[in-house]
Each structure stands twice: as C-alpha cells, then as structure tokens.
Amino acid sequence: MTRAGVAPRLGVPDAVLWLSAAAGVGTLVVPAARPYTAPLLVAGVVVVAATAWPTLRPPVRRTVLAMMLAGAALCLVAGARWSDVSAAFATMCGVFSFVAVVRLLELPMLRRGYHTAIAEFTLVRLRRTRAVWSAATLTYLLSLALSFGGVALAYRSVRAMDSAADEAGSAGVVCRAFIAANLVTPLSPPLAVVLTLTGLTWTGFLPYALALGLVAAMLVPLGPVPRARALPAPRPERGRLAAGFAAMIGCVVVVLVVLEMVTPLSHPAATMTAVLLVVPLWERGTRLPARAVALARSEAGSWREQFLLFGAGGFVVAAAGRWTADGAVGRLLDAAGLPAWALLAGGALAITVLGLAGLYPLTTLIVVTTVLAPLGTGAWPALVAAAALVGTMAAFVLSPLSGLTLLVSALSGRSAVHIGLRWNLPFGLALLGAGGAAIGLFAAVT
C-alpha cells in the first residue's frame, strides 16, 4: 500500500509478467497449446528483463545475465531450433505459474492468523523435546505453502514466540526444515519440476519422497540450534486455528491425489487445480481475487526476480534437450562406462556445485533431469528425480546466491555467505552425502 492508502498500479513489466504467467498455466494444463503460447512466453521474458532490469537486486542481475548469455551460447553449439527454445521457455514459465498459484495458500494463512497460531501451538507443545524439533515442525507446517514467503512467516514466528533464541539458531533451523519439507510435500516447486520431466505422479513417487524426507529430518539438528526457554500454555483458539490450517492443506492434498488418479493431468496441473478449487471455497470466494491481486502488487519486485530466474534458464534447458534428443549425451555416457550409482551421484553433485557457482538450482535441476531421465527404465526415473532433488536442496541451502539464503540474510541481517557456508554447511554436506549414498545404494542393488 502507498502512503495514500491505495495499492500501486501494475506497470508494463508486471502486466507482461502476469500475462506470461497465465500463458504458463495454459501450457501446463493444456500441453497442446504450447506452440501458440511458447513464443509469447519468450517475448514476455525479454520484455520483463528489459523494463524491470533497474529494479533487480545485483546478485539476481548477475545470475539472470549469466544464464542468458551462457544458455544462448550453448544453444548455438548444440544447434537448438526455435521450437526447442520456445518449448523450454514454456516449461520454465509454467513452473513459475505453478509457484504463483501455490502462493494463494498464503492468503488464508495471513487473514486468519494461521502462522502465529501454529507458531505458538507447536513451540509450546513440543518444548519438552529439543527446541530444534519444535522449530523444524513449525517450519514444515508453514512451508507446506512452499514459497519463500512461507519461510519469512516461519522465521518471524519463531523469533516472536521464542525471543531467547539466538539469530543463528532461528535462521539456520528455518533453512534446514524448509529444505526437508521441499523433499516431500506435493506443493514443492522442485518436486513438481522433476515429476513433470520424469512423467511420475506424486502418489507414485511418495515412497521415495518419504525416504528422502526422513533422511533430511534426521539431519535437521546439524547446525546452530535455538536455545530453549519456558513458554506458557497455548490458548485454546490457537489449537483450533492450527487444526484448521492442517484441514485446509489436507483438502488440497486429497483433491490433488484424486485428480492424479482419475485424470491425465500432470502433477503441476493437478496441484494448481486443487489449490484453485479448495482455497476459494475455504475463503468463501468473495475476498480471494482482490487479496490475491493486492498480494501480487505488494510483492511485485520479488515476482519479477523469480519470473526472470525461471525464464532465463530457458536457453540452457533448450540446449540440454537438443543434446539429449540427438543422443549425444547418451553416447558420451555409454563411452565413459559409468555405473548407475555414479551417474546419479554425479548429477546430484553437479547441481550443487553449479548452484554454488551462481547458476540457479532449479535450472540445473531441469538440465540434469532432462539428460538422465531417458537413460533407463523401471525405477530409474524415480531415482533420477530423487538424486536431482537432493542436489537441488543442497544447492539451495548452501549457495549464497540462492533465494533461500538471500531471504534469510535479509531477515537476519547476516551475510548470505555466512548463512550458506557456515550455518548451513554441516546440514548441506550431510544431506548431499547421506541422500546420495542412499540413492546410489538402491541403484546398485536394483
């Protein structure tokens, strides 16, 4: 809101951004529309980049520019066609659309005070155990909305409810629990990406997701831990609000599972449909559109950055898709004679290393999954998805340039380098090692 109390108007870059997001939704829900929407999405990314460039933070500018230049060069080397490029941009913008729709789950959280209720209820009820598990459970519940806005709510709630907690403990555990949640929940953008590229559903991938989530949950205590203090008993209405939030999420998941079982919709399309069906009903329909527009306007800068980070990876994805389609990557890997576990471990490690080098983790997630998924049958696609997720989550939690560490840096006032490479280093390395070893072992015995 401005000082006059009027929401700011949407400018050219934001109008183009939301038109592109609408086209991205159409691409995910109706794949046959891709030849018509893809050129519009390429143009949308270019227009938003040209008109919103001065508003981007310097790290985001560098990342977007590096991905566009490197990706364009790779497309020339790979001989990618216009159809390859436009299809890749459509995929990336479709992922952004998924994120935008899932963010609607934050509206009832903000309006009804779910986040503060869950903070109070969880921290008090679980105080008898280690404080880290209280904060981890809280963050997991809030992160079911799975956006960086959910991270901000979780962090502020932990700080508000436990003022004795040190900054490193609060910020570190929020990062680690957010990563653990992304491995399991069907509302996770990285999970939606790998399921789309491998042709899997969330229900089919669930055993692997639960195994990864269990490994990550066991590792959450690695790193700074919030100090515990005595808290009063939670007020009864807080428990009812927390139960209401759980019921809303449960409805979304139930509708999602039904859609995946009875329709040919992809996982992102089914998830967006479930959110758009449940949340307006939960909010009784009338106030949701206005609040959604207000939320989009108030966070316009963040949306521009996310849209460009997704879109800029289109060139890289197009080059990887062309190499895969031509069989060049398959022939190279066959010549190397690498065993299955080495391919999976190498893919996860590559995502993490490239994320530390500044490449957006979701872009390398798409590239690695695009390259490795067609190379096997049976359980192979699920193993590729699991390995790619582990590498991506390690990159998000370790890289000083990831959205997660940049957000927590802004909230805590500490540098992103300090958060990623000091507070989160033990957890990130352990997740990459333990998760990679478990996936490689499974690949070796199957």
Query: Whose CA is closest to 216, among 246, 190, 245?
Result: 190
pLDDT of residue 146: 56
CA 392 → CA 158, 183, 362, 367, distances in Å? 25, 10, 7, 12
pLDDT of residue 32: 77
Query: Tokens 């806005």 label which residue?
Result: 149
pLDDT at 144: 55
If 0-12 CB within 10 Å is exposed, 13-18 middle and 19+ buried, where does residue 427 land? buried
Angle at 26 between CA 21 and CA 30, to 5 degrees: 155
Among candidate residues 115, 133, 118, 155, the one with its CA nearest the CA of residue 228 = 133
pLDDT at 230: 58
Residue type for position 444: A
Q: Which residue has the tokens 């699920």?
A: 382
* pLDDT at residue 133, as a whole number: 54
H-state helical runs in 103-162: 106-112, 114-125, 131-142, 148-161
Q: CA torsion angle for 400, 404, 409, 412 (degrees, to 10)?
A: -150
Query: In whole angstroms, what is the distance from residue 370 CA to residue 325 CA?
Result: 10
Distance CA(192)–CA(268), nearest Å, equals 6
Q: Which residues of the chain have pLDDT under 50?
A: 1-8
Contact 103, 302 (CB under 8 A): no
pLDDT attached to residue 1 = 35
d(CA 224, CA 221): 8
In this predicted structure, what is the pLDDT of residue 254?
92
What is the pLDDT at residue 139? 58
Nearest to 135 by CA among 114, 112, 159: 159
Of 84, 204, 102, whose CA–CA distance to 143 is shortest? 102
HSE of 395, CA atoms in CB hemisphere, 13 A: 29
Q: Please give the Cα distance from 40 to 44 (Å, whole number).
A: 6
Task: Note the pLDDT of residue 161.
Answer: 62
CA 133 from centroid of its chain's CA atoms: 22
Please tell me the distance from the alpha carbon of residue 166 to that of residue 253, in angstroms, as a whole number.
Answer: 35
How many residues are given for the chain? 446
For residue 191, what is the enclosing H or E element?
helix 189-198
Per-residue pLDDT at 389: 94
Q: What pLDDT, on a 0 to 100 scale, did the predictor assign at position 259?
A: 93
Helices (runs of H) and strands (runs of E) counted in the chain:
23, 0
